[in-house]
Amino acid sequence: MRNKITFLWLLLFGICSAQESHKAHGGEYSGNKQTEACITEEQRQEIFGQLRESVKNLEAKGMLQKNNFGLNHPLFQWPVVKSPDAPYQNTWAISNYVDHNQAFPNQVQDWNCGTRTYDTSAGYNHAGMDIYTWPFTWYQLENNHSWAVAAAPGTIIYKAGSNSDRSCNFNSAQWNAVYIRHADGSIAWYGHLKRNSLTTKAVGQTVETGEFLGVVGSSGNSTGPHLHFEVYNSQEQLVDPYAGTCNTWEPVNDSWWTTQKPYLNTKINAFMTHSAPPVFPTCPNIETPNFKTDFNVGETVYVAVYLTDQLPGTTATIRLTRPNNTVLYNFNQTLNDLYSSSYWYWSFPAAELTQTGTYTVSYTYQGNTVSTTFNYGSLGTKAFEVSKLDFYPNPASDKITFSENINALEVFQLDGKKLNVPHSENSADISSLPNGMFIVKGTDSNGLKFNKKLVK
């Protein structure tokens, strides 16, 4: 009887534990809702005056050509990129587009005939596009993880970069910004940048498409770190770079993008492992991500996904594979709501992690799969090595040499992204890798698998 009771208790514990692992915690992230004017009308007119004066001076010095109204407008590339050391797949989401309904308040319409924009009771209709950082928006700001880059080639005609960058609300403060004039006379404004992060290039110097302009911050009238991207044509008329049914400004159906992104940018921004659930404090306090990839036996592993433009009525799949390549879990998550950004996490207690070694966990959503690995065992990778193969030096800078010949080699970032590393039977060229920690996997000349850490 005692054995039966013990068996039933273990069975019940296993069922409850599995159900808890399948349960998603988290929800919508709404910390960057912008509801006030990014800059006041007085500030906007002051900026126009500064730009006109700067253009006049640069033209007089021969550093800027006069407007050539016969040129076509530029075609933009995306103005926000992640830094090389950012541990995410993507770092941005969109909160607002240009407001095409000039009535107010609460009478809004974006280029796609939706309401992804805002106005104010004071008569401000949102005059640009807001691209906010996600996930860990303040942590990103602190670590310079999201960069504003030039959407098109042009000349810096004005910049300001010494203002505070920790704003959480409307305060009439000045923002940090870079202003780029293109060959056709149009001007792009890049606002809310981080203090003292702006490009070292001076006013009058040129930039190329994709060139660094500054770190995305929260300077001026801002409720959180984001880039405010605002565009004017050569006649100082506001431009919405998106072509859409409800963008009726002349010329109609004229996109300013090289490749126009969809209205909803559904994607997996990050899929990561943690020692505990992430903590999102009030603005402007820095989040506690609790990143972790190496766990001791007995620890609970938390796995989290960070989505943008989560779609209602969709399904995602989570798959957890043991070190011996057998599947521990493969289950679905049903997503019921439309969220601009959301996060979901699952806990896998020690009772379920019965093997030591490298586990692989993947998240598949809307046709995209992101995988990451975590090491489970007292010494991480040392606990599950099969091959005796080693490489040196470690840490290394340009090249690693193997203690014996290899048949196959794969190198991964800690976020699971596979990197292309040229290699021969006895060495690998790692000069192209950024500084950091990596996982090196493969098979030795005897066909035995190896899995080791590399520090660069």
Are residues 187 and 139 part of one domain? yes
Q: Structure pTM?
A: 0.80
Residue 253 domain-assigned?
Answer: no
Q: Please tell me whether residue 323 adopts helix, strand or coil conformation.
A: coil
Are residues 332 and 202 part of one domain? no
Q: What is the total count of domains within the chain?
A: 3
Final residue of a domain: which of 192, 221, 239?
Answer: 239
**Per-residue pLDDT at 435:** 79
Are residues 185 and 325 part of one domain? no
**Per-residue pLDDT at 386:** 57
Q: Identify whether the C-beta of residue 64 lies closer than 8 Å to the C-beta of residue 157.
A: yes
Question: Could you read off the pLDDT of 368-398 as tens digits, one per residue?
Answer: 999 999 999 844 443 344 567 888 788 788 8
Q: In this structure, what are the phi and psi dihedrals at residue 48, rounded to the nearest 5 degrees? A: -55, -40
The beta strand positions in 395-436, using DSSP E, are: 399-402, 406-413, 418-419, 427-429
Rounded to whole angstroms, the Cα distance separating 48 from 53 reads 9
Residue 370 domain-assigned?
Answer: no
**Per-residue pLDDT at 173:** 87
Rounded to whole angstroms, the Cα distance separating 32 from 36 reads 12
Are residues 131 and 69 part of one domain? yes
Instruction: Return the amino acid letter for 405.
Output: N
Question: Could you read off the pLDDT of 274-333 as tens digits, one per residue?
Answer: 999 999 999 999 999 999 999 999 999 999 999 999 999 999 999 999 999 999 999 999
Question: Which structural domain range is residue 290 located in?
Answer: 2-28+266-365
Are residues 158 and 21 part of one domain? no
Residue with tokens 């209709």: 125
Residue 116 domain-assigned?
Answer: yes
Are residues 136 and 24 part of one domain? no
Are residues 443 and 410 part of one domain? yes
β-strand partners of 207: 154
Are residues 288 and 207 part of one domain? no
Low-confidence stretches of the chain (pLDDT beneath 70): 1-21, 32, 34, 69, 378-387, 414-416
Instruction: Return the amino acid letter for 7.
Output: F
Residue 332 domain-assigned?
Answer: yes
Residue 226 maps to which CATH number? 2.70.70.10
Q: Please tell me whether residue 69 adopts helix, strand or coil conformation.
A: coil
Are residues 51 and 24 part of one domain? no
Residue 18 maps to which CATH number? 2.70.50
Residue 427 maps to which CATH number? 2.60.40
Q: Identify whether the C-beta of residue 368 lies closer than 8 Å to the C-beta of residue 268.
A: yes
**Per-residue pLDDT at 12:** 41
